[in-house]
């Protein structure tokens, strides 16, 4: 199959061999599970259990709220011991509303509906079941999958692309799941394709995972699913880039893949979809890679959502040396964390303990305008120009250089010989602009409120004045009548 060229990109050292040959193992059941109500893009879920409630494994404990949201299920059977704040897997380290579950060790499932022939279901039904199972994009974006299916079905999909790129260094969770659960994944892919009526199905896998490609190709025999090896390059696994390399098309700026008739899902999401439709099992666990130079035994585990990260590190026999930095996700776009009490959430693909030499970060030095960042940018931006504008607090100019097209992949920061934290600047600027936008919207809204109030007050005044005038007129009329009567009386007398 013909592949298309990409611009930019970088080739960070993969270091996937640390964990690539380690089979997925189930993590032992933790005593407490911390299940945040927001593990997805959109509105947080709303809890439907109370403290003290006994729940079964897979039971709905928080229900999706609003258009963009996702439901959350109990990862194991046990008792809800707290509904409150717990530290979140988020760079701010702020606490988020979390359901704390004490496991009872029984792992007693709810009764799950098994469906022998899922293709007998209607596409709408499949999307609804995916939504009910709380499935979100497991590649890291955590966008509610059911919503994506519905949007794509209504706008029509030509090509379904399954993302098996896994271009982030260290991570091997998608690699392992493709090697070990290829048959289930292919079935899940066909279900997704059926749900959106896709005409072409492509699975893109980077060529540094030959075993995964072989396993998927074997499982795809006799199905319309086409497995394609893509060159290994970061950020190949980014939605925009995988579409471009496989179809040659670009998503219009500000648009969605559906605008060009494409739908992209992660391979692990396909597995979750298969489990949800075939066996009625909601998304309560995911594969996580535990790796990094400071981890003693790098490995891949299937961890329940809500498992504290410390349990995973213990499972990997702890540290071989003090970690310079702990990272959730891959090293290119993952988030540093300091509190190992944070839970595994639906978007957690890796837990990394990195050494100083692996990070390779030095103090920033002056920019020499070498334009390496421009050559590395997969989107065609000029990071050097954007940063100089942001440093001068001229965010509008940074936007005119394409700040909002930045996908925050970190390629520019990775290659910068001056070690300037370019993508940090961009995320700061994006956050600041979003805040300004919120303030502006609020000001407009409150101005409208103030105008309404002023109008109302004016109306009340006016009505009051009118009423007073009416009363006065009536009184005068009455007096006049009285006078007239009196006059008439005197005249008669």
Partner 1 sequence: MTPIAHSPHAHAPVSIGKVMGTVLLALTPATLFGFWLYGWPAINLWAISIIAAIVGEALVVRMQGRAVRPVIMDGSGILTAWLLAISLPPFAPWWIAVLGSLFAVIIGKQVFGGLGQNVFNPAMAARVMLLISFPLEMTSWIAPDANAPGFMDSLRVTFMSQHMDGMASASLLGHVKTEFTRGVGLDQALAGYYSPLHMLLGSRAGSLGESAALLLLIGGLFLIARRIITWHAPVAMLLGVAVPALIFNAINANHYAGPMYHLLSGGLMLGAFFIVTDPVTSPNTATGQLIFGFGCGLFTWIVRTWGGYPEGVAFAVMLMNTLTPLIDQYVKPRIYGRDRKGAALTANKGA
Partner 2 sequence: MFVAVISLTLLGSALGLFLGFAARHLEVEGNPLVAEIQAILPGSQCGQCGFPGCAGAAQALADRNAPVTLCPPGGRAVVQALALKLGMEANLSDVADNVPMMAEIKEEICIGCTRCFKVCPTDAIMGAAQQIHVVFREACTACGKCEEVCPTESVKLQPILVSIQSWYWNKPFAGGAI
Please say which residue, 183 or 397, places its beta carbon nearer to partner 1.
397
Report the largest interatomic distance among the alpha carbons of the chain, rounded to a whole angstrom. Answer: 124
Q: Does the footprint of partner 1 cover residue 141 (CB under 8 A)?
A: no
DSSP secondary structure string for all residues of 40-95 = SSSSPPEE---TT-EE-BT-EEEE--SSS---EE-SSSEEEEEEEEEE-SSTT--E
Q: Encoding tokens for residue 34?
A: 């911390």
Q: Does the footprint of partner 2 cover residue 361 (CB under 8 A)?
A: no
Please say which residue, 299 or 416, places its beta carbon nearer to partner 1.
416
Chain Cα centroid distance, residue 476: 73
Please say which residue, 283 or 416, places its beta carbon nearer to partner 1.
416
Return the closest-CA partner of residue 425 out of 445, 406, 444: 406
Q: What is the DSSP secondary structure assignment for residue 221, as one 8-state letter?
A: T
Provide, rounded to whole angstroms, the least separation between the CB of residue 275 and partner 1: 30
Q: Does the footprint of partner 2 cover residue 366 (CB under 8 A)?
A: yes
* The binder of partner 1 chosen from 47, 152, 385, 386 (CB under 8 A): 385
* The binder of partner 2 chosen from 434, 458, 486, 488 (CB under 8 A): 434
Q: Does the footprint of partner 2 cover residue 446 (CB under 8 A)?
A: yes
CA atoms within 13 A on the CB side of 300: 23
Q: How far apart are CA 105 and CA 29, in angstroms?
A: 7
* The binder of partner 1 chosen from 341, 361, 443, 454 (CB under 8 A): 361
Q: How far apart are CA 459 and CA 278, in angstroms?
A: 63
Range 368-387, binding partner 2 (CB under 8 A): 387
Q: Does the footprint of partner 2 cover residue 404 (CB under 8 A)?
A: no
Return the closest-CA partner of residue 299 out of 362, 370, 241, 350: 350
Give the total of residues touching partner 2 (CB under 8 A): 38
Q: Find all residues with CB under 8 Å of 482, minimum gap 6, and list them.
A: none
- The helix-helix angle for 267-279 and 182-196 (nearest 10°) equals 80
* The binder of partner 1 chosen from 378, 390, 395, 429 (CB under 8 A): 378
Q: Does the footprint of partner 1 cover residue 418 (CB under 8 A)?
A: yes
CB 86 within 8 A of CB 96: yes
Tell me which stretch binds partner 2 (CB under 8 A): 61-69, 223-231, 258-266, 447-455.
447-455
Q: Does the footprint of partner 1 cover residue 331 (CB under 8 A)?
A: yes
Please say which residue, 270 or 323, places its beta carbon nearer to partner 1.
323
Beta bridge partner(s), residue 302:
26, 287
- Beta strands 285-291 and 350-354, pairing class: parallel
Q: Does the footprint of partner 2 cover residue 453 (CB under 8 A)?
A: yes
* The binder of partner 1 chosen from 100, 142, 244, 349 (CB under 8 A): 244
Q: How far apart are CA 458 and CA 463, in angstroms?
A: 8
Q: Does the footprint of partner 2 cover residue 91 (CB under 8 A)?
A: yes
Which option in partner 1, partner 2, none does residue 331 bind, with CB closer than 5 to 8 A by kind? partner 1
Task: Count Cβ atoms below 10 Å from residue 17 Cβ, excluding itself.
Answer: 12
Range 135-164, binding partner 2 (CB under 8 A): none
Q: What is the DSSP secondary structure assignment for residue 16, as one 8-state letter?
A: G
Q: Where along the sequence are the contacts to partner 1 (CB under 8 A)? A: 7, 10, 12-13, 91, 93, 156, 158-159, 169, 240, 244, 249-255, 259-261, 325, 327, 331-338, 352, 354, 358-362, 365-371, 374-375, 377-382, 384-385, 402, 405, 410, 413-419, 421, 423-424, 427
Q: Where along the sequence are the contacts to partner 2 (CB under 8 A)? A: 38, 88, 90-92, 94, 96, 363-367, 387-388, 390-391, 418, 420-421, 424-425, 427-428, 430-432, 434-435, 438-439, 442-443, 445-446, 449-450, 452-453
């Amino acid at each position: 199959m013909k592949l298309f060229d990409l611009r930019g990109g970088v080739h960070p050292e993969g270091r996937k061999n640390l964990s690539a040959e380690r089979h997925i193992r189930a993590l032992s059941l933790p005593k407490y599970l911390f299940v945040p109500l927001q593990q997805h893009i959109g509105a947080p879920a709303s809890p439907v259990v109370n403290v003290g409630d006994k729940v079964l494994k897979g039971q709905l404990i928080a229900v999706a709220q609003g258009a963009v949201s996702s439901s959350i299920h109990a990862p194991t059977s046990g008792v809800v011991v707290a509904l409150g704040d717990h530290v979140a897997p988020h760079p701010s380290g702020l606490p988020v509303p979390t359901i704390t579950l004490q496991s009872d060790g029984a792992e007693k499932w709810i009764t799950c509906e098994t469906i022998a022939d899922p293709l007998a279901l209607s596409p709408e039904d499949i999307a609804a079941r995916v939504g009910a199972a709380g499935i979100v994009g497991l590649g890291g974006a955590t966008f509610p999958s059911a919503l994506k299916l519905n949007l794509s079905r209504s706008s029509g999909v030509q090509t379904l692309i399954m993302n098996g790129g896994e271009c982030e260094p260290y991570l091997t969770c998608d690699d392992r799941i493709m090697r070990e659960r290829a048959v289930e994944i292919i079935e899940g892919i066909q279900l997704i394709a059926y749900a959106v009526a896709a005409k072409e199905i492509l699975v893109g896998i980077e060529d540094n995972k030959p075993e995964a490609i072989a396993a998927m190709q074997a499982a795809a025999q006799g199905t319309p699913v086409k497995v394609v090896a893509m060159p290994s390059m970061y950020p190949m696994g980014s939605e925009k880039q995988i579409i471009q390399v496989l179809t040659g098309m670009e998503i219009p700026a500000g648009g969605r893949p559906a605008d060009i008739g494409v739908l992209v899902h992660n391979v692990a999401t396909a597995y979750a979809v298969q489990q949800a439709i075939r066996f009625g099992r909601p998304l309560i666990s995911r594969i996580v890679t535990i790796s990094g130079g400071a981890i003693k035994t790098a490995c891949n585990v299937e961890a329940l959502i809500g498992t504290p990260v410390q349990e995973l590190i213990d499972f990997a026999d702890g540290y071989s040396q003090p970690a310079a930095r702990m990272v959730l996700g891959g090293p290119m776009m993952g988030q540093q964390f300091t509190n190992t009490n944070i839970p595994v959430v639906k978007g957690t693909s890796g837990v990394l303990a990195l050494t100083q030499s692996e990070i390779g970060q030095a103090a920033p030095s002056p920019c020499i305008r070498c334009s390496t960042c421009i050559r590395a940018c997969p989107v065609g931006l000029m990071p050097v120009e954007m940063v100089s504008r942001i440093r001068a607090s001229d965010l509008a100019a940074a936007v005119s250089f394409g700040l909002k097209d930045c996908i925050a992949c970190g390629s520019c920061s990775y290659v910068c010989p001056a070690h300037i934290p370019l993508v940090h600047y961009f995320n700061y600027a994006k956050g600041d602009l979003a805040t300004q936008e919120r303030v502006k919207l609020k000001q407009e809204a409150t101005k409208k409120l103030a105008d309404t109030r002023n109008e109302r007050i004016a109306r009340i005044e006016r009505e009051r004045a009118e009423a007073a005038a009416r009363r006065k007129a009536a009184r005068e009329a009455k007096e006049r009548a009285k006078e007239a009567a009196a006059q008439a009386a005197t005249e008669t007398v």
